[in-house]
Amino acid sequence: MQVPSQMYIDGRWVAAESSETMSVLNPASQEIVATVPKGGREDARKAIDSAVEAKVRAESMTAYERSTILLKVAHLLEQNGQEMAMLITKNVGKPITDSEAETARGVVTLTFASEEAKRIYGQTIPLDSHQFPPGNQNRLGFTIREPIGVVGAISPFNFPLNLLLHKVAPALAAGNTVVVKPPSDGPLPALMVAKLFEEAGLPRGILNVVLGPGGEVGDEIITSAKIDAISFTGDTETGRTIAEKGARTNKKMILELGGHNPLIVLDDAKVVNAVSSALAGTFAYAGQVCTATRRIILSERIKDRFLTQFEQAVGTLKVGDPMDRTTSVGPVINVRSLQKIDDLVKDASGKGAKIRMGGSRMSYGELAQGNYYAPTILDGVVGGMGIAQTEVFGPVSAIMEASNDEEAIEMANNTIYGLQASIYTSDLARGIRVAKRIKAGGVMINDRTNLRWDNAPFGGIKRSGMGREGVSLAIGELTEIKFIVANIAE
């Protein structure tokens, strides 16, 4: 399947109104992967108007029809899976094995959405449980769920397929129309998704994809009174701006924002298992995951043993070409990200943290042209350091030490974030007691932080977001409850 190189508005593939274009770079080589339209406010307005006009078509589709189209897209994605995986890798530098896993996960997400489209239930309300007003025994009360309207979906680069589908698929399952603003660093999978929906027969205008800067395209989506809900995944500061602007038009918000996820290793933990989770949680996709392990909080009794094994494990990671199936860690998305990582590492080092491994850009040999940062272990990190408070979207592990459970819990909660956390212990009851005191949307016991399931709630507290994803929960967020009362007295 040929990857589209234009935007998708009102069922047509179009250039930007301004005719401007932008280059999409491969972060592993800085080579131009594609040239795509650089849309602006006028393009966003056209897409929004198309989505508004298409609401009638979307709401007239039966649950069976919506379910069938979503399932057809799942099958088309599966058939074109290898092409999609290669597109993800070339566009955002994700190792090819991870891109294949993301593509397979996309099929699952679409399948779940197809199933949930047929399970949007209301409920009956026993009005005769009220004494007043008289006659309640003859009143039948029930609720139905209706589409919220037009959904603005703003997706990130790090999972350019699956996190997009976590917005689009539930919105369409619920009968909404959608305007997508994909990341400028990773727009190509979104265009491919639009192509799949077009092939599956989705009526025009129900799905629109607009490319361009967030300050123009994104801002138009956020501020438009014609947009009824926003589903956004990205950094916390941008999310706060979206919440403030969106509130002016009373938009419904699902905001999946940053995380500073702790992995707590208690003194009775199986260290080898904790090391394995720390490795996968910290360095998968070069740490560019909102649920990645950012801080490892170690009991002082097992710290030395853990670090010895952890250093050995990190030393086995292969940094290199993401198209190489043996690569463990690829590049970060762009030079700005590379600089931010390095600034945080140097700041921590200057304030007393010890760089046990890595700690610099990898700019030699075949890596010289890419945005590669060495897998890094920082020991002796304390709460006042920037690396302990700021989300570092890169392959960096911040090691902290706790003398007891109480101190570990205090360290874990000492950030503005509350997305996910992990606890390692051989005592399940102890793990649950600690988990109940961790301020996070999700806590894993004896597992890694970077996990989610499509039929489970996903989202954070504090400044890690509002609302919940997970297909059925997202459908709930993107529908309105209508209460109907029928008086059946003769």
Q: Which residues are known to be catalytic? A: 256, 290
CA proximity to 111, closest of 190, 169, 178, 44: 169
Nearby residues of 235 by Cβ (< 8 Å), 6 or more positions away: 257, 258, 391
Helix axes 96-116, 162-173, angle to 10 degrees: 10
Where do we find the tokens 């932008």? 22
Buried b (16+ CB within 10 A) or exposed e, 310-343: beebbeebebbbbbeeebbbbbbbbeebbebbbe
CB atoms within 10 A of CB 70: 27
In this structure, the strands spanning 465-466 and 252-256 are antiparallel
Greatest C-alpha distance within the chain: 86
**Which is it for the CA torsion 205, 182, 243, 224, positive or negative?**
negative
- The CA-atom distances, in angstroms, between 192 and each of 214, 289, 397 are 20, 22, 34
d(CA 293, CA 308): 18
For 111, the enclosing helix (H) or strand (E) is: helix 96-116
- Quick one: which H or E segment has residue 474? helix 471-477
| Secondary structure letter of residue 2 according to DSSP | P
* CB neighbours of residue 354 within 10 Å: 13
Q: Is the peptide bond before 133 cis (omega within 30 degrees of 0)?
A: yes
Q: Determine the Cα–Cα distance for residues 255 and 269; give it in Å rounded to an integer.
A: 34
- C-alpha distances in Å from residue 391, one per residue of 69, 289, 419, 435: 38, 10, 12, 22
Provide the CA 299 distance to its chain's centre, in angstroms. Answer: 31
Strand runs labelled E in 133-198 = 139-147, 150-154, 177-181
Strand blocks (E) in 247-353: 252-256, 261-265, 293-299
* Residues paired with 485 in a beta bridge: 141
